[in-house]
Amino acid sequence: MLNDGLRRRLFSDAMKRDLQGYHALDVLRYHMDRAPTDNHLSRVQYADFKTYLPGDILTKVDRASMATSLEVRVPILDHEFLGWAVSLPPGLRLRNREGKYIFKKALEPHVPDEVLYRPKMGFAVPLADWFRGPLRERIRAVATEPALADAGIFEMGYVSTLVDQHQSGARDHSAALWALVMFESFLRQVHTATAEPPRVAVAGS
């Protein structure tokens, strides 16, 4: 999610020592090196199957659907269909930057082109604008409240720089700031939970 330069400046010296040279991209390299193919596209898609799909996209769909009592299925991830799809030549999966090429061609008689070939639309929210507007003070607090600093993971001076650059409009650091504010919220919840006195069971209660 973060480029190497930003990551190096964001982590504290102690954190970088603790990582002992570990790099987040090592996870992707690990899976790509073990992909049962030499094709570059297929290796990247294999890494997606091992990381991005189960750890991000499918997780979010599952949580959002279960939270609203919906039973969701992902039909093109049916294991038999998927096994067939990955056996196709890569040029039938991606052609001229058009993903799911053969799938879309098969649907052309049934789905209008303006729907089938419209630009991909994700579920993004306007974090960049929120962090400069209604959540401005919440983001500013991340750089000053103790929970994040006490963790010892981040260089807090650089966290303040990220906030300043983003809120001035000089840069868009919304992805990094979102990760930081979520982690800071997690730390505060943990601190609150561990600070609560233990509950004592009372007979008959």
Q: b/e per residue, 167-201, with b = 16+ CB within 10 A?
A: beeeeebbebbbebbebbeebeeeeeeeeeeeeee
Q: Tell me how far apart the alpha carbons of residues 53 and 29 are, in angstroms, rounded to a whole number.
A: 16
pLDDT in tens, the chain (205 residues): 788 889 899 999 999 999 998 888 899 999 999 999 999 999 999 999 999 999 998 998 999 999 999 988 888 889 999 999 999 999 999 999 999 999 999 999 999 999 999 988 877 789 999 999 999 999 999 888 888 999 999 999 999 999 999 999 999 999 999 999 999 999 988 877 776 555 545 455 4
Domain-by-domain residue ranges, the chain?
A: 14-116, 127-194
Instruction: List the one residue out of 189, 166, 188, 190 whose CA is nearest residue 178.
Output: 166
Q: Are 148 and 195 in contact (CB under 8 A)?
A: no
Global confidence as pTM: 0.74
Q: Are 113 and 156 in contact (CB under 8 A)?
A: no
At residue 75, the pLDDT reads: 87
Q: Are 182 and 33 in contact (CB under 8 A)?
A: no
DSSP state of 11: B
